[in-house]
Amino acid sequence: MGKLKSSKRKTLVYILLIVAFIFATAGFKVYEDVFADNINTELDSGYIYILSENNFTLRMEAVASTGVLRNTNALKQLLQVTGYADEIKPGKYKLKKGNSNLTIMRLLVSGRQEPVKLTFKYASRVADAVRVYANKLEVDSFELLYLLSDSAYCDSLGFTTQNVISMFIPNTYEYKWNTSARQLIKRLVKEYETFWFGTRDSLARAKNMTRTQIITLASIVQKETYRKSEMSTVAGVYLNRIRLNMPLQADPTILFVLNDPSIKRVSGSMLNINSPFNTYIVRGLPPGPICTPDIFTIDAVLSANNHKYIYFCAREDFSGYHNFASSFNEHLRNAAKYQRELNIKGIK
């Protein structure tokens, strides 16, 4: 009888130990999945992205692809069990070492995403500008390009499809990662208005020019010289030609039309190409910018020097500076020196 009781006690102890083990294991599992640090041990911080696509599985796959979390499935299960799977907000989120799934869940549900600092420097065409933004934001590049290629939509913004690139002002901006195409355009227009409002608008009116005309001229100036000290002088040459109803004869506009980076020297039949951007044939400014000029160049045009120069030619020392002339004969002498050096160096 004593042996039977002893055996029952042992069995009870075993059962209690097993139950305790189960609870301990479950408790540890809960701790690991909810309260423990879930950041990759090799990282101090990192970013995860919640897609605007309203598909929980795809969203979690995108999170897993970043490699920031140790256990994405645990976060996925927590979101599902708590009923928050459909409550998380799209965006870019910064996670730090020590963040648990509970902390991460609260962050994703709150929508407190990390802004994207985007520096836009330069683009030659609208497609190039779109690519810059699409590489940094979730924005749909196809939709963005479609909108900026639609004449009616551009007209509603106050632009044409040929000058809409004017609204891309090179600068550093902050955006939400999940910014849509229409939201981005709205923001670009707002920044464009802020840029021009006040002094710049006044300076443009004093020259009897529109905003897009100033930017178009600035785009030519930027392509003509990278020497900031002479940008206002180059701008003054073109303004003098416009005043005298002379063709601008700007080589960069020909290169824009040809769109061939291998061409180093504009000459011959290139000058006769049929295009509204051919400033050798069409007088006045082309219908839109040939690139996105930087702020310094735009301001250089707005404060263009008053002088009598009508011509300019690259210096024969290839320093990047130019020789300016107020008479055609003087210009021919300058051009001859430059052409001679081009021939010597075999540049065609």
Nearest alpha-carbon partner for 203 in 315, 105, 271, 301: 301
* Residue 26 confidence class, pLDDT cut points 50, 70, 90: very low
Residue 229 has pLDDT above 70, yes or no: yes
Mean pLDDT confidence for 223-250: 96
**Beta strand extents in the chain (DSSP E only):** 45-50, 91-96, 116-120, 171-175, 311-314, 322-325
Mean pLDDT confidence for 20-31: 44
Decide which of 325 and 28 is more confident. Answer: 325
Nearest alpha-carbon partner for 329 in 313, 348, 307: 313
**Which pLDDT tens digit goes with each residue over 52-100?**
988 999 999 999 999 999 999 999 999 998 899 999 999 999 999 999 9
Residue 28 has pLDDT above 50, yes or no: no
Q: What is the per-residue pLDDT for 17?
A: 41
Q: What is the per-residue pLDDT for 27?
A: 45
**Phi–psi pair at 184, nearest 5 degrees:** -65, -45
Q: What is the per-residue pLDDT for 16?
A: 43
Range 252-261, long-range pairs (CB < 8 A, 24+ positions): 252/220, 252/223, 252/224, 252/290, 253/220, 253/277, 253/278, 253/279, 253/286, 253/290, 254/278, 254/279, 254/280, 255/223, 256/124, 256/223, 256/290, 256/291
Q: What residues does 324 pair with on adjacent strands?
A: 312
Q: What is the per-residue pLDDT for 343?
A: 85
Q: What pTM did the predictor assign?
A: 0.86
**Which pLDDT tens digit goes with each residue over 252-284?**
999 999 999 888 788 889 899 999 999 999 999
Q: CA–CA separation, 7 vs 21, rounded Å? A: 21
* Helix 211-224 / helix 231-243 crossing angle, nearest 10 deg: 120
> CA angle 165-169-171, nearest 5°?
145
* Residue 2 confidence class, pLDDT cut points 50, 70, 90: low
**Which pLDDT tens digit goes with each residue over 177-186?**
999 999 999 9
How far are the Cα atoms of 131, 228, 297 from residue 255, in angstroms, in the given order?
A: 21, 21, 20
Residue 119 has pLDDT above 90, yes or no: yes
Q: What is the largest CA-CA distance in the chain?
A: 129
Mean pLDDT confidence for 322-340: 94
Q: What is the per-residue pLDDT for 36?
A: 84
Residue 13 has pLDDT above 70, yes or no: no
The answer to whether the CB of 340 falls within 8 A of the CB of 253 is: no
Q: CA–CA separation, 103 vs 100, rounded Å? A: 5
Q: What residues does 49 pair with on adjacent strands?
A: 92
Sign of the dihedral through C-alpha 14, 19, 22, 25: negative
Q: Tokens 């479950």 appear where?
A: 26
Q: Tokens 């160096």 appear where?
A: 345
**Beta strand extents in 64-170 (DSSP E only):** 91-96, 116-120
Q: Which of these ranges, 15-29, 35-49, 221-235, 302-316, has the smallest mean pLDDT?
A: 15-29
Q: CA–CA separation, 166 vs 126, rounded Å? A: 9
Percent share of the chain, pLDDT over 70: 90
Q: CA–CA separation, 278 vs 269, rounded Å? A: 12
Task: Tell me the average pLDDT of the chain.
Answer: 90
Q: What is the per-residue pLDDT for 104?
A: 94
Q: What residues does 45 pair with on adjacent strands?
A: 96
The answer to whether the CB of 327 falls within 8 A of the CB of 342 is: no
Count CB atoms within 10 A of the CB of residue 189.
14
Mean pLDDT confidence for 200-204: 97
* Residue 348 confidence class, pLDDT cut points 50, 70, 90: low
